[in-house]
Structure 1
């Protein structure tokens, strides 16, 4: 167990009970509750409301409405180059690189010598095989960030997989201390078919995160899962365009992008702790 007392405490906390309570507060439209929560987060995390479509914090009926706020048109601009695969979220890079780093087939680097397998993350060995020796990028969204996740590339939705798990914090200290954290937390795996092959977008839940919503199905988490739940979207022709919103978090968390081998190269110099913006170049597509 970690020597960090806060991270150590999360091993024994009732994760879902706490997240359920946080959800009730987040959705409360009682003015005193919503105003206190919004003002606290704006002040503590230095939230830039000038970017928001509604810059007045009193314009939001609940804390969740504030947290999942839309931004003004033009705040995000997609890299115009046709070979630019885009960053999915505002936040910062947690880790990125080859799947198999360092020389461990099928493993994704987490932090400080910790890693987990693609099979563990996706809950499916067959699906994971398509990403062997491919590329990953893990983006952490802090409480100050815009909490909508956008598509790096145009994709046709094939399947979602809701995988049950814990709700550990995904902050820096927890990522460094909790083994296989992203493969242990509750998450929604979204599989897309693209013109270069499969692409997976993994929405990872965290402590006090009340939910994940998608643009095609609405609320996916909660209800918190007790077993793996799959939804097959083949034949329904759900296409989400490059740069379009695909999902959102209620409170900060993490999105992981998985790409198959040989299709794209990460932007040179992209490194942990680097600040990210929706629409900037994440990777450059190779000629096909």
Structure 2
């Protein structure tokens, strides 16, 4: 058995939510010496470039979470033409949906219906469209931005587990993105419907949006749908949400996308052009 498979299997019996919420509490600690020690150790371990941050002084952040979700300085991420990456990270998979199925990793795929919380009607919009998945590692910038301009139609919270979403786990846990807790944001765009799915993960303490604040964790229960009477419109490149301790964004589009000679597992930056709608 490979170390990657063993790592994935060991996650099944863990109390995912308990571990994640406990770490979330620690990350919100505002005791100066505690949070400064954690922040400086993290910067050293993951070689974080604080020169990109709006506030480059690590001690200026009131908590580890404030540091982790730090904004970038103006101009650090130019917004390209066409469809752009919503986040810094690894473009793990992308391409056309195959009769409503998306690729998770080699040998693993999953359905749009499962990803969207069992919503067959919504999944039908993307049956022959395109998708892209961006994995945010611990060292990445952890705010999520709009890949195209859009108006929010509905937000859906889908409860689930909190497996890690790193490469080892995506290769060994089937239906990973459809198993984990996630927030599905349905947008109307000039290119048709778009769903941005913010997937929770092990030690991800919370997911926030710019229009509703912190969403997860929600009390246990089923799928929860929230519609908005007042339109929420966001321009391409505008922030739409953030992860408190990293995770993954899955984008689905009703229209096909011509991706620009990209390779799976390549590094991308927020605002980088990914392709053009066909």
In 2, Cα distance between equivalents of 1:145 and 1:29: 22
**Residue aligning to 1:28:** 29
Change (3 A) 1:224 1:171: farther
Q: 1:278 aligns with which of 257, 270, 274?
A: 270
Q: 1:266 aligns with which of 252, 259, 271?
A: 259
Write out per-residue CA displacement over residues 74-126 of structure 1, whole angstroms, 9 at most, x where no aligned residue.
Answer: 101111x4xx11110001111111111xxxx2111111211110000001110
Answering whether residue 246 of structure 2 is matched by residue 252 of structure 1, we say yes
**Residue aligning to 2:73:** 72
**Residue aligning to 2:104:** 110
Write out per-residue CA displacement over residues 101-160 of structure 1, whole angstroms, 9 at most, x where no aligned residue.
Answer: xxxx21111112111100000011100000011110000001111100000111110000
In 2, Cα distance between equivalents of 1:28 and 1:135: 41
Q: Which runs of 4+ in 1 moved over 4 A?
A: none
Cα RMSD between the aligned structures?
Answer: 1.4
Q: Unpaired runs of 5+ in structure 1?
A: none
Deviation of 1:255 (Å): 0.3
Deviation of 1:221 (Å): 0.5
Deviation of 1:2 (Å): 8.1
**2:97–2:129 Cα contact (<8 Å) kept:** yes
In 2, Cα distance between equivalents of 1:6 and 1:57: 32
Deviation of 1:224 (Å): 5.0
TM score, norm. by length of structure 2: 0.96
**Residue aligning to 1:122:** 116
In 1, Cα distance between equivalents of 2:126 and 2:219: 27
Once the two structures are superposed, the pairs formed by residues 125-144 of structure 1 within 5 Å of their partners are 125-144=120-139
In 2, Cα distance between equivalents of 1:224 and 1:203: 18
Write out per-residue CA displacement over residues 247-275 of structure 1, whole angstroms, 9 at most, x where no aligned residue.
Answer: 0000110001101134x31122x122211
**Residue aligning to 1:168:** 163
Determine helix, strand or coil for the equivalent of 1:275.
strand
Q: Unpaired runs of 5+ in structure 2?
A: none
Size of the alignment, in residue pairs? 276
Write out per-residue CA displacement over residues 141-186 of structure 1, whole angstroms, 9 at most, x where no aligned residue.
Answer: 0111110000011111000000000000001100100000000000
**1:215–1:247 Cα contact (<8 Å) kept:** yes
In 1, Cα distance between equivalents of 2:38 and 2:6: 25
Determine helix, strand or coil for the equivalent of 1:236.
strand
**Residue aligning to 1:221:** 216
**Residue aligning to 1:86:** 84
**Residue aligning to 2:141:** 146
